[in-house]
Amino acid sequence: MAYSSEVYATAKRVLEERRTSAERLASLKKADIYARFPEIRKMDAELSKNMAALSVLILRGGKDLSSALDEMEEKNAEIKKQKSAILAAGGLSADYLEPQYTCAKCSDLGRKNGILCSCYKEVCRTEAQKELAKSSGSAVCSFDNFSLEYYVDNGACDGTNPRRKMNNYYNFCINYANSFSPDSSSIVMIGKTGLGKTHLSLSIAKTVTDGGFGVVYLPAQKLVSGLEREHFSGSGSDALLQKYTKCDLLIIDDLGAEFQSSFANSAIGNLINERLYENRPTIISTNLSGKELAERYSERTASRILGEYKKLYFVGEDIRFLKNR
């Protein structure tokens, strides 16, 4: 699926605006130059006339076509040389009147020879990151600013050392994000509030998005509210449900914090099951234990999460509290 349709539409609009702006500026510069150097207007008119004549020659063909084309090219080259000399005398470059596109490779079209240009891909990445920051409400979480100093190093080497354990999870998440594919495993991050679950899931989201994959990140309450509005709107549309079901990576933050209702429990259970059935990776963070997941949703949903997701049990003290000490 890659990025959302909204990202592609925005990227297309950005490139169109760049191209339009460059051509508008070129038109203004041309009007100014024509006023200052009327002979350049005549030269451009002659070049246009020659191009039209060139098209006619090509359509007619004939045995003398090659020599006629050579003659026309020489004539146009001489006109361009004279034009460049006039511009140079005015302290201007030979391409001064040409549109100065942001991307010289594709002229801000986003494609060249039928192949997507790198500029289009870069705009898509930028817009996808904006979409991610908007949905998460945070643009500062990354692997680079995740700190292990808030986790106690008690010297133990048997799996009870919080810093050692969280360092393992940190490295796992980095490797997961860097090697992500649509066939990657699903992850559930379990632990009390303030232990870094949101930070690491957002860090994964940022890296995976940079890799060109479509990531949907949102709190469980926002997910349920959106699906509920869509379901009861009477429009018959399931665009939001399809977006959550088909995206490359779905990240549900704070599962269990949403308002409890039969619709919420059913919607979340169905979404989890559908993505597992289609082998699409999902990351869930929750404060609920396995028993609480079963009580809140169903034993089947809890079994799917705990049995088929990679489980990361976060440990330590509330980092938000430690930071404000």
pLDDT tens-digit readout, 102-156? 999 999 999 999 999 999 999 999 999 898 888 877 666 899 999 999 998 887 6
pLDDT of residue 236: 78
Kind of pairing between the strands at 115-116 and 111-112? antiparallel
pLDDT of residue 59: 78
Those residues whose C-beta lies under 8 Å from the C-beta of residue 76, and which sit 6 or more positions away, are: 47, 50, 51
pTM for this one? 0.82
Cα angle at 289 between 250 and 312, to 5 degrees?
55
pLDDT of residue 73: 87
In DSSP terms, 286 is beta-bridged to: 190, 255
pLDDT of residue 218: 93
Residue 104 near residue 19, CB atoms below 8 Å = no
- Residue in the structure block whose two tokens are 């509030």: 193
pLDDT of residue 38: 94
Residues of the chain with pLDDT under 50: none
pLDDT of residue 1: 55
